């Protein structure tokens, strides 16, 4: 098997690291069916994982949480979750915070065209990586509409990131 390409965050401007932990997901471990998409031939529960973070700079005004699959066969990866304008006092999201009616921030449109967490749903083959990232931002609000395209949300998150951390579980389907 050829080596995996670097994670997308390897190409972004370097920023200090946040510590990101989860009661549900771990680096390199397989996502539970709870966090897999319910649709596209998958029968998961589509529940976002628990996340907590620490180590943000004093200048942090808000957070964004994203989930991105850099291994999706699209040429541009696949955005599974974009939650932004999370108040600076929030440093933990419970399992299931990725529902459309969350009170934690603004859900941006993901690549499933919904405004909520969309679980893993890779095609058969090698496991895909799911980068659950937490971004400490220097602005209170990104000022974006919830229907803003995911790449534009990602651009604005990157432009305002003071620190970043992530956890990267995997999920695959046998061929």
Query: Which helix (H) or strand (E) is 158 found in, with range?
Result: helix 150-159
Average pLDDT for 132-149: 96
Kindly indicate the confidence band of residue 100, based on its pLDDT and cuts at 50, 70 and 90. confident
Kindly indicate the confidence band of residue 5, based on its pLDDT and cuts at 50, 70 and 90. low
Is the separation of the CB atoms in 83 and 98 below 8 Å?
yes
Instruction: Give yes or no for residue 2 having a pLDDT over 60.
Output: no
Q: Is the sign of the CA dihedral 80, 156, 161, 94 positive or negative?
A: negative
Structural domains of the chain in order of their starting residue, each with its CATH number:
23-170 (3.90.280.10)
Average pLDDT for 79-88: 97
Closest CA to 137 of 150, 154, 151, 149: 154
Interval 17-57: pLDDT, tens:
999 999 999 999 999 999 999 998 889 999 999 999 999 99
């Amino acid at each position: 098997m050829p080596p995996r390409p670097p994670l997308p965050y390897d190409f972004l401007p370097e920023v200090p690291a946040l510590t990101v932990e989860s009661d549900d997901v771990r680096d390199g471990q397989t996502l539970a069916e709870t966090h897999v998409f319910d649709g596209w031939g998958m029968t998961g529960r589509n529940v976002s994982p628990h996340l907590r973070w620490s180590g943000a700079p004093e200048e942090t005004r808000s957070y964004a949480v994203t989930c991105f699959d850099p291994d999706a066969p699209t040429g541009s990866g696949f955005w599974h979750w974009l939650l932004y304008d999370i108040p600076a006092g929030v440093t933990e999201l419970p399992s299931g915070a990725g529902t459309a009616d969350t009170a934690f921030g603004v859900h941006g449109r993901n690549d499933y065209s919904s405004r909520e967490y969309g679980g893993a749903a890779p095609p058969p083959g090698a496991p895909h990586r799911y980068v659950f990232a937490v971004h400490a931002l220097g602005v209170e609000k990104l000022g974006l509409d919830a229907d803003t395209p995911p790449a534009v949300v990602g651009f604005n998150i990157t432009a305002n990131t003071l620190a970043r951390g992530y956890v990267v579980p995997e999920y695959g389907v046998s061929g």
